Chain A
Amino acid sequence: MNTDSYNEGAVVHTPVFIDGHSVEIPILKILQQDGTLYECAELPDIDQELATKVYKTLAFHRVLDERMVASQRQGRLSFYIAALGEEAASVGGAAGLKDQDMIMTQYREQGALMFRGFSLEDFMNQMFSNAKDLGKGRQMPIHYGSKELNYMTISSPLGTQIPQATGYAYGQKLQGLDAVTICYFGEGAASEGDFHAGLNMAAVQEAPVIFFCRNNGYAISTPSDEQFKGNGIASRGVGYGIKTIRIDGNDILAVMKATQTARAYALKENAPVLIEAMSYRLGAHSTSDDPSGYRTREEEEQWQANDPILRMKNWMLAQNWWDETQDAEIYERYRKEVLAAVKVSEKIDKPHLDTLITDVYDVPPVLLQKQLEELKEHINKYPDAYPFTAGKF
């Protein structure tokens, strides 16, 4: 056994207990809310073109979330999850990576998929579970995925993507690819056993994976101080022997800088990195809850003043890379586009009945084919009860 990783401290002769707070964890901040940089702050690799793409993605994200929450309220959509106030974590993460890197997410990271170029139509078709949905209308709204864009299809069970990301990254390493995997999750999901499994295995198996924790203070209604008592999630990374950094998650430049640095490290050292991004979920968990039942308006207002999109806009204006006219123009354009796309996608048919049994296996087994035939006979007998599929197979 090799004990090199044991950092033995001073020998003591009376009991001395330590806790997670014995390790002071610095927090990376680059951009201030007024758009100026902190003194001596080191910028990520970013030019006007990339910055404009990042900012436009953030703006589009904000518009899409607003419109889809409204659509849900109007009864046009069954469910939605917005990322209000946390957009920088997902968009900045994707912007700090390369296209060949795999992105595995929880469910509040649609910004990463927008940055990769998932079209508005693709978002809509997934949310309306219609025949054009890449996922064939099988999952609730917001469970996106795209092989072409290296964005793993989302699954609802929390934290399951964490050990999977370790395995995915291990496969990338075995093939010698210039690629890593980034794995997003919330501070609540970090209580799942899969968090422990995934991080420990990544350290032991030396997988080039970036674990990106969005610490937004709440898991539905449960505040983080009822979720854990340690020094955030970052303190755990140290215990697993994983390089760890805590950042301001509302600071897009800090997110990009941390991700770019983590990517280079993970690839060079074949080792995982843990990023804990401190942020706040300004909206509800989903369209199915109302946060006024579990937190105060004052608390929300404090964080509204930390809006990550406004912060980036202030920086863009200060750089003379952006102006108010352009800003008003894109918001107006995105609102129109989203509304128009809703109207198109909600009218597209449901997927064909045959897709009920495809993809369970590579080829449907005999028994399943028989079940489908029986179903078709039944629908033919009672067509009025099955208006979406009757007469369409």
Chain B
Amino acid sequence: MAQMNLLHAINNALDIAMTDNERTVCFGEDVGHFGGVFRATSGLQEKFGKARCFNTPLVEQGIIGFANGLAAQGSVAVAEIQFADYIFPAFDQIVNEAAKFRYRSGNEFDVGKLTIRSPYGGGIAGGLYHSQSPEAYFAHTPGLKVVIPRNPYQAKGLLLASIRDDNPVIFFEPKRLYRASVGEVPAEDYQLPLGKAEVVQTGNDITLLAWGAQMEIIEKAAEKATGDGISCEIIDLRTILPWDIETVVNSVMKTGRLIVSQEAPLTAGFASEIAATIQQECFLHLESPIARVCGMDTPYPLALEKEYVSDHLKVYEAIKHSVNY
């Protein structure tokens, strides 16, 4: 098995998807010859030609509108939005069009062959407009799937599954991990299931739940808590929508405690949805209130980023508070 960083794993998955199906097309701003601003599509234009991997004009609503039409026609459309912070001009094409395409037509037409890739999240000194985690906006939209990987192995398997899934998928790539996260990745084609969370560490005292780059944070907090004799169960949600309620419920039934941590601001984030569902499903099994450790309710800051983020110490404090409740 080769060592790959998360970017290489994405690039490798795209290469496989384009080799495997000649109707797979990758496009977006600077995606062509340059290979994308993060180089996720590096070498694809050279290998598959300009018709299948190309630059688009700077118009996010156009990129996704185009992608919707292309997917409806039967091509496998893999569109890149350069930063998740810039996905909002395409909000209408995603929320009103892609998500509703199949439903509104009674399954006469669909855009199941659409995948939107976008680097997201903070930790790169990107300030307000290169750091956001907008998954909750899309999680509020029936018809979409929202997928976020935590490491290179997950990224390759989940991206291939997203591209081949017969529903429109938004695939958010934690850009802080692009080069920082390195791991073993099989060279061959493989897929990981969508809609399935993964228990990455079993434990008895408390359940810690996160996704994407925030997994590193809760793992670090769990390690610190282990020193205090607290046994943490760690779950990677992996798919935000539709999410795996069963795996989380089973864990919380066992531990009686839950902390959900996300990079995005607290209010109306996806952690809130999880907390509401788990209190309903596990009410009599809970030993303490479900805690959310999230970004503050401000735009993403720059100079004070370190103070703003939901780091491992904040998660660790929440663990202690929950266990000692």
User: Do the two shown chains form a genuine complex with each other?
Assistant: yes
Task: Please pick, from A167, A181, A194, A362, the residue contacting B167 in the complex, using a CB distance under 8 A.
Answer: A362
With A and B bound together, what is the CA distance between A160 and B25 in angstroms?
Answer: 21
- From B74, B77, B93, contact of A160 by CB (8 A): B93
- Complex interface: chain B residues within 8 A of A307 (CB): none
* CB-based contact A361/B65 at 8 Å: no
Chain B residues with CB under 8 Å of A166's CB are: 62, 65-66, 69
- Are B167 and A361 in contact (CB-based, < 8 A)? yes
Say if the beta carbon of B96 comes within 8 Å of chain A. Answer: yes
Say whether B156 faces chain A, with CB atoms less than 8 Å apart.
no
Chain B residues with CB below 8 A from A102, complex form = 73
Q: Which of B232-260 contact A (CB under 8 A)?
A: 242, 245-246
The verdict on A135 contacting B59 (CB below 8 Å), with A160-B65, A160-B97 known, is no
Q: Name the one of B109, B142, B195 contacting A153, with C-beta atoms under 8 angstroms.
A: B109
Pick the contact of B106 from A133, A155, A168, A361 — CB < 8 Å?
A: A133
Also in contact, A134 and B69, with CB within 8 A (given A193-B89, A365-B195, A366-B245): no
CB-defined contacts of B77 to chain A, threshold 8 Å: 167
CB-CB nearest in chain B for A177: B73
Given contacts A147-B109, A163-B66, A200-B62, contact A174 B75 (CB under 8 A): yes
- How far, in angstroms, from A181 to B65 measured CA to CA in the complex? 15
B104 sits at the interface (CB 8 A):
yes
Q: In the complex, A143→B66 CA distance in Å?
A: 21
B101 CB to closest chain A CB (Å) equals 8
Closest CB-CB distance, A372 to chain B, in whole Å?
A: 13
Contact with A168, one of B69, B145, B245 (Cβ below 8 angstroms): B69
**CB-nearest residue of chain B relative to A173?**
B51
Contact with A along B14-47 (1 / 0, CB 8 A): 0000000001010000000000000000000000
Check: A77 CB closer than 8 A to any chain B CB: no
Nearest chain B residue, comparing its CB with the CB of A370: B245
Closest chain B residue to A166, Cβ basis? B66
A365 near B242 with CB under 8 A, answer: yes
In the docked arrangement, what's the CA distance between A145 and B105, Å?
7
B184 at the interface (CB under 8 A from A): no
A179 to chain B, nearest CB (A): 10
Contact B97 A157 (CB under 8 A): yes
Report if A82 contacts B (CB, 8 A).
no
Taking a contact as CB atoms under 8 Å apart, the answer to whether B62 and A135 are in contact is no
Q: How far apart sit A157 and B61, CA to CA, in the bound complex (Å)?
A: 13
The answer to whether B166 and A200 have CB atoms under 8 Å apart is no
Choose among B51, B69, B70, B74 the residue with the greatest number of A CB atoms under 10 Å from its CB.
B69
Interface residues of B in 80-127 (CB under 8 A from A): 89, 92-93, 96-97, 100, 102-110, 112
Interface residues of B in 258-298 (CB under 8 A from A): none
Say whether A171 contacts B65, CB under 8 Å: no
Q: Taking the complex as formed, is A172 at the interface, i.e. its CB lies under 8 A from any CB of chain B?
A: yes
A23–B84 CA distance with the chains assembled, in angstroms? 41
The 4 A-B pairs at the shortest CB distance, nearest first, are namely A163-B65, A167-B69, A197-B62, A171-B73
A-B contact pairs, 19 of them (CB 8 A): A139-B104, A147-B105, A155-B100, A157-B97, A160-B65, A160-B96, A164-B65, A168-B69, A169-B69, A171-B69, A194-B92, A197-B59, A197-B61, A197-B65, A200-B59, A205-B56, A358-B107, A360-B143, A361-B242
Given A145-B105, A197-B66, list of 12 further CB < 8 A pairs? A145-B106, A152-B109, A155-B100, A157-B92, A167-B67, A172-B73, A175-B74, A194-B61, A200-B59, A205-B54, A205-B56, A366-B242
Chain A residues with a Cβ under 8 A of chain B: 102, 104, 133-136, 138-139, 143, 145-147, 152-153, 155, 157, 160, 162-172, 174-175, 181, 193-194, 196-198, 200-201, 204-205, 358-362, 365-368
